[in-house]
Amino acid sequence: MINRAIELVRKSIEPLVFTGAGMSRESGMRTFRGEDGLWNEYSPEQLSSISGLRSNPEVVWDWYRMRLMASEGVVPHAGYEALTYLQKEKGNLPVITQNVDGLHRLAGQTDVLEIHGSMRTASCLDGCGFSTELTSEVLKNIPPFCPDCGAILRPDIVLFGEPLPQEVILRSYRLAEKCDLMFVIGTSVQVWPAAGIPFTALDKGAVIIEINPVQTELPHNENVISIRRKAGEILPLLFGTGEKI
């Protein structure tokens, strides 16, 4: 199975990567649900919605600041480094991710499609056009305000009830239609419409190499190679970077 996967990687002309929370978790990225803090009595929907942001900006921003601070020591694992290597090697390897933590970019990857946005930047909630990196300077005042118009800022992630960014989603589907090989890494393929991306690739005849320690929604057939191991272990093996990392 591993040998067939290595051969497919070598031959692929239009490879594509699709990642989910499992990829981040291997780097120690935490998810936060009801831990100690101001936000404890608020539901995830309230903390991640426009209405929650408008009614409790201090609480919501306190939560995001905590998430950002917790991500400070998190570094991309060997699986990310292997993907960065393959991207340079192939010269063409778009990475579609459901993660908002920016680890793919931190690992030096380019052409990253963040379909749920990024928690590393923020923009004006009233849409005046202002946007900024979320530095500790910006987060000194909670909630942070737009210096141009005085509205509060919003994190650039897709909030509860918001549509996914159309251009990013459309390009993701277009890439899925024409790719010949898709890596599906650390995602259960359950959250729609994102889950449609690997199914589109399958429908159009691509082969999927799925890397996930647990069972997912992908079918079992000759076009799906399921490797039930961690990405940080298997990607360096598949891409021949194992010895160097």
- Catalytic annotation, residues: 116
3-class SS of residue 230 = coil
15, 235 in Cβ contact below 8 A?
Answer: no
How do strand 117-124 and strand 131-133 relate by DSSP bridges? antiparallel
SS3 43: coil
Judged by the rule CB under 5 A, the positions of this chain that interact with Zn ion are 124, 128, 130, 146, 148-149, 151
**Residue 59 near residue 6, CB atoms below 8 Å:** no
Q: In terms of CB distance, is 113 or 146 closer to Zn ion?
A: 146
Q: Are 209 and 43 in contact (CB under 8 A)?
A: no
DSSP lists the bridge partners of residue 185 as 19, 211
From the list 122, 163, 153, the residue with the least C-alpha distance to 54 is 153
How would you classify residue 102: left for phi > 0, otherwise alpha for psi between -120 and 50, otherwise beta?
left
Task: Please identify, using beta-carbon distances, which residue of 133 and 217 lies nearer to Zn ion.
Answer: 133
Please tell me the distance from the alpha carbon of residue 32 to that of residue 197, in angstroms, as a whole number: 27
| Residue from 47, 24, 33, 44 nearest 97 by CA | 24
Q: Which is nearer to Zn ion, 139 or 218 (CB)?
A: 139
In angstroms, give the least distance from the CB of 121 to Zn ion. 14
Least CB distance to Zn ion at residue 149 (A) = 3
Least gap, CB of 153 to Zn ion (angstroms): 8
CA distance 36 to 31: 13
β-bridge partners, 155: 122
The overall longest dimension of the chain from CA atoms, in Å, is 58
Question: What is the closest distance, in whole angstroms, from the C-beta atom of residue 156 to Zn ion in the complex?
Answer: 14
Of 66 and 151, nearer to Zn ion (C-beta) is: 151
Least distance between Zn ion and beta carbon 147 (Å): 8
Between 2 and 149, name the residue whose CB sits nearer to Zn ion: 149
Residues facing 44 on adjacent strands: none
